Structure 1
Amino acid sequence: MSPRWSGVTALSEAEDVRRFWGRLGLPGLVDVHTHFMPERVLQKVWEYFDAVGPLTGMEWPITYRHEEEQRVALLREFGVTAFTSMLYPHKAGMAAWLNGWAADFAARTPDCLHTATLFPEEGVEAYVRDAVESGARVFKSHLQVGAYDANDALLDPVWGLLAEAGIPVVMHCGSGPAPGKHTGPEPVGRLLARHPRLRLVVAHMGMPEYADFLELAERYGEVRLDTTMAFTDFSERFTPFPRGELRRLADLGDRILLGTDFPNIPYEYGHQLEALELLGLGDDWLRAVCYGNAARLFGLSQKG
């Protein structure tokens, strides 16, 4: 990490992050991939990452293992003007409960975009419709953890509902850090062939199938990708982004969104920003990725 991003205290790290977006003339950052969830669920997630070394061959220390209030305060210190509460069920019977928690969290955290989730189960259409009608602005789908096929017949009316409502779905569909039965570009391609207007945000740039998911974004105008953990030193060690795809990444600059995976990252928040800057795609690209694209997608103020 360069000296500019070597903050050793929360204050100096925040200063570095704010200097980054201030230099670009932005009013702050929009992070479409941050995690807030019920404490007992988050503890289980952290236990997973504590044990993930055998999957990746690398330890995964969680940098921001703090209480909820401190995590929210840190994002605000960084100048993140809007963020999400990405949460997801690993089995049936959880999603509606998680959605209730997320609605309450958004109500008490006005800079959080009201987030909801889903699972292929009886009643999914009803609780997704309830979430939409109660103001949900983004959904999370995790094909790896949930171990389900995006093309499950139970979900088909849900995708149609969300496409019609224009509500983005952040989907973990790439095969990193370990492949699942239903991950990869092929099932997502089948989903998009049926629902081409679905505002699908491919999490983690689709790692490690970067090129395949970039191709889907080129084919479908409502497909976007988030930068979560991509290009960082940590990810480059086991799923490097192919440098031959940088031109395509530049050409899709209006559909790449900043995501970080905060708080579940094994490095400082600013390193994600440094990794984006070091791609060398220019300040206009950075401005779009770190604020402008998400501001348009979610109808946020774009005053700088």
Structure 2
Amino acid sequence: MGEGEGPESSNQPDTRISSPFSWRGDSYPSILDSETPDHLSRIRDLGIPYIFDIHTHFFPETVMKLIWRWFDNVNWAIGYRLPEAERVERLHHNGIQRFTTLNYAHKTGMASSLNDWTYTNYKNWKGAIPFGTFYPEEGVLAYVKKAVEEYGFLGFKLHCEVSKLNLSRPELADTFLYLQEKQIPILIHSGTAPLPGEFTGIEFFKPFLETYPKLKVIVAHMGASEISAYASLLDTYPNLGLDTTMVFVDFLATGKAEDIDRSVSYLETYKDQIYFGSDFPNIPYNLNHPITRFLDLPISDSAKQKILHQNAENLFFK
């Protein structure tokens, strides 16, 4: 599938079967040239005006293509290999009217330029909530302050696996203290799925949270594949949250099916601390799949309303 073409369906099954990541059952959610977002009537019936997706990615085109190349190498089909403007249209088409601009750096000197790029472009993406990133390097606090105080960014994203990032690096202490004081949320990929990293896992995350107990942190993928370990921290740390990104779907890249099934109860118990996320555009299925699967879960309407909409609204605009 070339840049600018629609989601591809003709050769997906063989590609998916050869992927190192497994699927539930024998069938795969389709990637179609046209979507039918039949979930829209269901969210209206719940009184949800629109979905707030807290985990969507925006990178400069050259970087995004490199990311897609990595996914190609592990036979992870990219469902939305589309130009940027068309990707935003697909979000709106699926009832997602607010979404984050997540990106992250994997080397020195990259984070500040990503923040500049996001600031220059995010107003072109209707509904975008601007997120920055940072990296353990000289000047990190200065460009984080610029992102907050000059650019008006509402959050930050870190990826411990890709960035080989130890959250306890001393170079980041002042930055974390600043964000804790300002109550600016950080969305952190610190879990060991789909692939573990040198500094991923609850053994690295828990000491970090103990150091900054009032920091607003959202753990990507509910901490998969250690969901129960991360969920066990929610009572102690009221500013901690989890996002549902790629958890309750048929593509099992973030944990075993039995562990995911056992995690459904957390959505009810901690419905005020969990946020809906999709990982768009880097998903191997239509965007309606994670939404429909979430709506099908045996949890209360109140939990669905909070997770799909209210919690993120309160996080940024309360």
Residue 110 (structure 1) shift = 4.2
Structure 2 CA distance for aligned equivalents of residues 13 and 157 of structure 1: 47
In the alignment, structure 1 residue 142 sits paired with structure 2 residue 164 = no
Correspondence 1:62-101 to 2 at 5 A:
62-101=78-117
Cα deviation, 1:144-200, whole Å, max 9, x if unaligned, reads 000010110011111111111111111000001110010011211111111111110
Residue number in structure 2 paired with 1:188 = 205
Counterpart of 2:10? none
Structure 1 pair 167–210 and aligned structure 2 pair: CA distance change class (3 A): same
Per-residue CA deviation, residues 74-105 of structure 1 (Å, 9 max, x unaligned), is 11122212101110111111000000011112
* Correspondence for 2:215: 198
Structure 2 length as normaliser, TM-score?
Answer: 0.86
Percent of matched pairs sharing the same residue: 36
Which sections of structure 2, spanning at least 5 residues, go unmatched? 1-23
Give the SS at the match of 1:83.
strand
Check conservation: 2:39, 2:292, Cα contact below 8 A.
Answer: no
Is the CA contact 1:6–1:13 (under 8 Å) kept in the aligned structure 2?
Answer: no
Counterpart among 242, 255, 264 of residue 246 in structure 1: 264
Q: Which stretches in structure 1 are left out of the alignment for 5+ residues?
A: 53-58
> Pick from 85, 110, 124: which aligns with 1:108?
124
> TM-score, length-normalised on structure 1?
0.90
Is the aligned partner of 1:287 residue 2:279? no
Give the match for residue 264 of structure 1: 282
Task: From the two aligned structures, give the one with the greater helix fraction.
Answer: 1
Separation in 1 of the partners of 2:164 and 2:215?
A: 21
Distance of 2:203 and 2:255 partners within structure 1: 22
**Contact map agreement 1:150 1:188 (CA 8 A) in 2:** yes
Pair 1:122-2:145 in alignment: no
- Write the letter of the residue equivalent to 1:260: S
Whole-Å Cα distance in 2 between the matches of residues 68 and 158 of structure 1? 31
Q: Could you say what the CA RMSD is over the residues aligned between the two structures, in angstroms? A: 1.8
Question: Is 1:156 paired with 2:184?
Answer: no
Task: Say if 1:92 and 1:121, in contact at 8 Å, map to a contact too.
Answer: yes
> Structure 1 residues 238, 244: CA separation in 2 closer, same or farther (over 3 Å shift)?
closer
Aligned residues: 289
1:24, 1:287 within 8 Å by CA — same for their partners in 2?
Answer: yes
Q: Judge conservation of contact 2:177–2:212 (CA < 8 Å) in 1.
A: yes
Which residue of 1 is the match for residue 67 of structure 2? 45
